[in-house]
Amino acid sequence: MQNQMMYSAPQRSLSNRRIIDTRGQSKRLYQVWKGGNRFFLGGRLIFGPDVRSLVLTILLIVVPVIIFASFISQRLINEFQHHLGKLIVAIPVIFMIYVLCILFLTSGRDPGIIPRSTHPPESEDDGDACLSIDWAGNQGPTSSLPPTKDVLVNGMVVKVKYCHTCMLYRPPRCSHCSICNNCVDRFDHHCPWVGQCIGKRNYRFFFMFVSSTTMLCLYIFAFCWVNIKKIMDAYQCNLWRAFLKTPMSAVLIIYTFIAAWFVGGLTAFHIYLISTNQTTYENFRFRYEGKVNPYDLGWAKNIREIFCSRIPSSHNNFRARVNEDFASSTASLPRGHVLSPEIAKASLTIDMGSKRQAVAADEFEDIQNQIGLERSRSQARHSNWVQKGNWEIMPDMQALPSEFGMEHKGFTDREKISH
């Protein structure tokens, strides 16, 4: 009866309304995702938070091809016989479509996001004390969790760091992107031109994009000079007069020259990274300066690893329903109760680089009455630290009261009332 009266209260907080809405209808994972990603088509496409920059990139690719096809093509079609001129004009248009498809595959897919844990793992050192229940409020040196762990990779010891935002030990070569707010497997860099992180699942397409764009720029650059040469021969004029007769050719020559230096230099740099099996992040931080790279298998095997290996499946199913099964896999709740990740996002967000958002104790008590949350304990599984192990951390809701500054007494009293 008390629960019914509480549900009919006219004043409800934002967190309470979210709980009631979640109980009434399930949501999909992308709707409650904590990262800064943008989702389209019902979670089928995932972009970075700076997806708008993708429009500028598309314009920088499409506009020069349109200018080439509109202002340069007519003379080339007339100069070359046997439909060769039409083929010369058609090639950059087809190539442009190919580049846009590769760009779409780079920016519109999961780059290799590692799922977050809902609770910090317990310390694996048997000599240490148990993890303090107010660990989340004291993310300092007093925590019993070591900041790094040693992992064996190809017979060499590699240190992996603990991520305070995702509350897990990152897999080898994984890093947290501050822009997308996700841990990304084999993190290379965040590219603003494609509006997405570059990681294990889209690095191949990123390299294909920059290399294809380089070839497209060189193609237009070369045939603009061919057009200039044809005008100089036809009118018996110098280079300056030829530029005046076809100013768009001059514009495209300057534009593609600058663009080719940019994307061409990027292509050459990534050829070096691929041949030595490095990432941009590792190279810029001199990760293997004076050290042996444990991932370097020789240039032939390194290239084969990037282009001939199978792209791993995504760790996340963004269209999955946030239902009872999902809740039970992320929190120790009684059967029949659902803990929406939206609630976790509203009240349990713990970011190392941002201020911790607390929820008042009385609001938290009201939430517990409405969803009937009972005390539960769950043992966090100790991970087996191998190169391709299971990196997910089982949650422990024991620390939930301390996150909100609650005492166990309040929960005990509620259990007595409910009984």
H or E stretch covering 66: helix 53-67
pLDDT of residue 389: 39
Q: Are 175 and 34 in contact (CB under 8 A)?
A: no
CA distance 108 to 40: 9
Which residue in 163, 174, 183, 191 is the catalytic one? Answer: 191
Phi, psi of 182 (to 5 degrees): -140, 150
Place of tokens 């497209």: 216
Half-sphere exposure of 187 (CA within 13 A, CB side): 25
pLDDT of residue 334: 32
Q: Is 142 exposed, middle or buried (0-12, 13-18, 19+ CB in 10 A)?
A: exposed
pLDDT of residue 143: 57
CA distance 54 to 204: 18
The per-type count for the chain, helices as H runs and strands as E runs, is: 15, 12
With b for 16 or more beta-carbon neighbours within 10 A and e for fewer, the 52-72 pattern comes to: ebbeebeeebeebbebbeebb
Distances (CA, A) of 195 to 198, 227, 259: 10, 35, 19
H or E stretch covering 46: strand 45-47
Q: Which of 172, 132, 131, 134 is nearest to 151 (CA)?
A: 172
pLDDT of residue 413: 47
- Biggest CA–CA distance in the chain, Å, is 101
Measured between its terminal Cα atoms, the distance across the chain in Å is: 13
Count of C-beta atoms within a 10 Å radius of residue 210: 24
pLDDT of residue 20: 42
pLDDT of residue 102: 97
pLDDT of residue 125: 53
Q: Which two tokens stand for residue 209?
A: 């994009």
Distances (CA, A) of 4 to 1, 7, 9, 383: 5, 5, 9, 43
Count of C-beta atoms within a 10 Å radius of residue 315: 14
Spell out the per-residue pLDDT of the chain, length 419, in tens: 444 433 333 444 444 444 444 444 578 888 888 889 999 998 999 999 999 999 999 999 999 999 999 888 888 887 777 678 788 889 999 999 999 999 999 999 999 999 988 777 776 654 433 333 333 344 444 357 788 888 888 878 888 899 988 989 999 999 999 999 999 999 999 999 999 999 999 999 999 999 999 999 999 999 999 999 989 988 888 999 989 988 999 999 999 999 999 999 999 999 999 999 999 999 998 888 888 889 999 999 999 999 999 999 999 999 888 764 554 444 333 333 333 333 333 333 333 333 333 333 344 444 444 444 333 333 333 333 333 334 433 334 343 344 334 444 444 444 444 44
- Helix, strand or coil, per DSSP, at residue 39: strand
Q: Which of 36, 330, 73 is nearest to 196 (CA)?
A: 36
pLDDT of residue 53: 92
Count of C-beta atoms within a 10 Å radius of residue 344: 19
Place of tokens 């076809």: 246
CA distance 9 to 11: 6
Q: Are 130 and 230 in contact (CB under 8 A)?
A: no
* DSSP state for residue 311 in the 8-state scheme: P
CA angle 78, 84, 87 (to 5 degrees): 105
For the entire predicted model, the pTM comes to 0.68
Q: Beta strands of 127-202 (E only): which ranges?
A: 148-153, 156-163, 168-169, 175-177, 182-184, 189-191, 196-198
CA distance 53 to 403: 38
Q: Are 32 and 322 in contact (CB under 8 A)?
A: yes
Q: Which of 217, 213, 215, 198 is nearest to 273 (CA)?
A: 198
CA distance 48 to 38: 6
Distances (CA, A) of 185 to 42, 113, 177, 268, 312: 24, 6, 10, 23, 11
- Helix, strand or coil, per DSSP, at residue 331: coil
pLDDT of residue 323: 63
* 191 catalytic per annotation: yes
